[in-house]
Amino acid sequence: MAEYKVPLKDMSFLLYEVFKADDMWQKLPKLAEQVDKDTAQAILQECAKIAEQELAPIARQGDEIGVSFSDGVVTTAPGYKEAFNTYAEGGWTALGGDVNYGGMGMPKMLTALHEEMLCSADISFALYPVLTAGAALSLAKHGSDELKERYLTRMYSGDWSASMCLTEAHAGSDLGIIRTKAIPQDDGSYSITGNKIFITGGEHDLTENIVHLVLAKLPDAPAGPRGISLFLVPKFNVNDDETLGEHNKVSCGSIEHKMGIHASATCVMNFDESQGYLIGELNKGLACMFTMMNFERIGVGIQGLGAAVRSYQNALEYAKDRLQGRALDSKVKGVKNPAQEADSIMVHGDVRRMLLNMKALNEGSRALSSYIAMQLDYATYGEGEEQQKGEALAALMTPVAKAFFTDIGFENTVTGQQVFGGHGFIREWGQEQLVRDARITQIYEGTNGIQAMDLLVRKVASSKGVLLKVFTDEVSAYIDDNQNEAGMAEFIAPLTEAVNDLTELTTELLTKSEANINELGASANDYLHVFGYTAMAYIWARMAQVSLTKQDSNGECGDNFYQSKLHTARYYFTRVLPRRISLIAAAKSGCDCMFDINDELF
Ligand SMILES: Cc1cc2nc3c(=O)[nH]c(=O)nc-3n(C[C@H](O)[C@H](O)[C@H](O)COP(=O)(O)OP(=O)(O)OC[C@H]3O[C@@H](n4cnc5c(N)ncnc54)[C@H](O)[C@@H]3O)c2cc1C
């Protein structure tokens, strides 16, 4: 496998040239105290060192040895504990945390790039701190001061980690039917009893305590999602002097043996009258959990991107070295590599197609992810209209980040494997691990099918298109402002068509759904991808615009960076964006062909 190199140049390009993050940070008073360009650059560079030097090297043995389980004890693969200690001692577990409890309060635009580095290095490792960061976010927003004082500081220090306990054997996508019970106790705590499955980081040896965020229902709670409450259940109770007390009645029953992410512990967790503490209000637990789930959904999208970036780096290095066949045009233009018995496979159109698909989709995903992170920063630190717009766009785009980035992320791991031919299928080169590791990203944290429903039904249809309009208005204003700019026509024209088609498709689906609601379920997946390719086109246009103005200089980024960007933008608009046309045709074809067929005829 090629050595992982963090794409720092691309990250700086996005932050400072495309999105002007440094201006934004200065403008928002709460962020201005915490971050400026120098701090951000130092953070990215140091994080890159950890990812490249500490985490990427352990991923292979993590996959081969994996986690082990014996008598309720989960042991992580060799090297993981040391790597986690190095990571925590470096302060990385505090990066995005609340400054009032020892966090560094860094903006999402930075922490998202940090997450990408972790995930390119090793998704399994990344899951431990990223889930902890999500749990801390939910606790910071909804927890009582007492719970925050007691738990947050130690989560940010990396002494304690966290898990997210939603899923039960009979309740995955449908959390409204969970059976875990919470009984109120005289001292104000709750007794939690139930079994959760598939809990990432539910038990392990990386930290001295594990803070479980558990969904449960009181006996008299309303049925369905409106009866769910959220509880904090520590593995070890915490004494008043903040030392660790007795082991709570929570245990790991077993771990799963699975297709990928072998170094991540996926646990069956048994809560047996465990002591738990309410987070937020009774019966409003799902909303509190959504603070964590939305964070993790974008995080899972970034996992897909992380694996895809690694796949591209490996495939590119391999393609440059691998000699097979001669270029098709050898007879006309002469042999390209006469000193060798064959040309590098880079001469073949199909290999160039695979590499450019990966490059265009990866750079587009990183840029769109940064754009979404920027909306989250406006939502958290902005004020007035700017803040409301940030919230609206973040809500609209969260399911897109999760599902679109992981679908194309998985596609890109498979494409990278294909570039290797048979050598991609065997273990030696590491490509097959990326495929196996990336596959789960399409499934957990709400399957991509559930994300598509979230986008089309909960976000677009429920708001009667208003949320979507926040996005399409921004794109239309961008088009109006830039359509006459020199060199931009080749990007603006297809972007205009794409955004008009998205609006038209939305109107058609919402209208049809008034007569038959199944129209939404049947077209949701296609719709999400149409949205994803269109949103990515908007971001590619913005990247192309910056690159056009700088193409004659090597600029801050150097290495013909801007020429490469422009070529890739052209590839995206001519070869990738047209995918939306077949998706639109499928989405418009109606739901009858799916529902007219009786179940017995399947
Ligand atoms: C390795 C791993 C780690 C995990 N980590 C965690 C964790 O840390 N915490 C946690 O709580 N859970 C975790 N999970 C659970 C994961 O989030 C669930 O598996 C996932 O949400 C899907 O639930 P399910 O498996 O029960 O599938 P189901 O809900 O049974 O879904 C089956 C199929 O039906 C579709 N479907 C279901 N309902 C609908 C609907 N309304 N509309 C359209 N399609 C629908 C789904 O998209 C899917 O294709 C993990 C799972 C795995 C495998």
pLDDT at position 557 over 80: no
Q: Note the residue count of the chain.
A: 602
Cα 10 from chain centre? 18
Ligand 1 touching residue 76 (CB < 6 A): no
DSSP state of 171: B
SS3 (DSSP) at 574: helix
DSSP state of 255: E
Written as six digits, the tokens of 63 are 């996959």
pLDDT tens-digit series, residues 464-480: 999 999 999 999 999 99
Rounded average pLDDT over 474-498? 97
Rounded average pLDDT over 318-346? 95
Active-site residue flag, 445: yes
pTM over 0.95: yes
pLDDT at position 404 over 70: yes
Rounded Cα distance between 573 and 369, Å, is 19
Question: What does the pLDDT read at residue 555?
Answer: 63
Answer positive or negative: Cα dihedral of 406, 409, 413, 415: positive
pLDDT tens-digit series, residues 506-543: 999 999 999 999 999 999 999 999 999 999 999 999 99
SS3 (DSSP) at 234: strand
Question: What does the pLDDT read at residue 559?
Answer: 73
Instruction: Return mean pLDDT, the chain.
Output: 96
Q: How far is CA 148 from CA 151, 274, 276, 277, 446, in A?
A: 5, 20, 14, 12, 27
pLDDT tens-digit series, residues 151-197: 999 999 999 999 999 999 999 999 999 999 999 999 999 999 999 99
Question: What does the pLDDT read at residue 546?
Answer: 96
Ligand 1 touching residue 266 (CB < 6 A): yes
Cβ–Cβ under 8 Å, residues 337 and 343: yes
183 forms bridges with which residues in the sheet? 191
Rounded average pLDDT over 448-457? 98
DSSP state of 94: G
Ligand 1 touching residue 259 (CB < 6 A): no
What is the rounded (10 degree) CA torsion for 205, 206, 211, 212? -60
Question: What does the pLDDT read at residue 2?
Answer: 84
Confidence at 553, pLDDT banded by 50, 70, 90 = confident
Q: Which residue in 35, 9, 8, 26 sits closest to 107, CA to CA?
A: 35
The proportion of the chain whose per-residue pLDDT surpasses 90, expressed as a percent, equals 97
pLDDT at position 571 over 70: yes
Ligand 1 touching residue 258 (CB < 6 A): yes
Q: Whose CA is nearest to atom 37 of ligand 1?
A: 173
Rounded Cα distance between 399 and 81, Å, is 33
Q: Whose CA is nearest to atom 12 of ligand 1?
A: 167
Q: Whose CA is nearest to atom 14 of ligand 1?
A: 198
Burial class of 337 by CB neighbour count within 10 A (0 to 12, 13 to 18, 19+): middle
pLDDT tens-digit series, residues 94-123: 999 999 999 999 999 999 999 999 999 999
Residues 17, 116, 296, 445: which is the catalytic one?
Answer: 445
DSSP string, 366-416: HHHHHHHHHHHHHHHH--HHHHHHHHHHHHHHHHHHHHHHHHHHHHHHHHH
**How many CB atoms neighbour CB 301 within 10 A?**
33
pLDDT at position 139 over 90: yes
pLDDT tens-digit series, residues 64-95: 999 999 999 999 999 999 999 999 999 999 99
Confidence at 141, pLDDT banded by 50, 70, 90 = very high
Q: What share of the chain is helix, strand, coil (3-state, %, to 5)?
A: 65, 10, 25
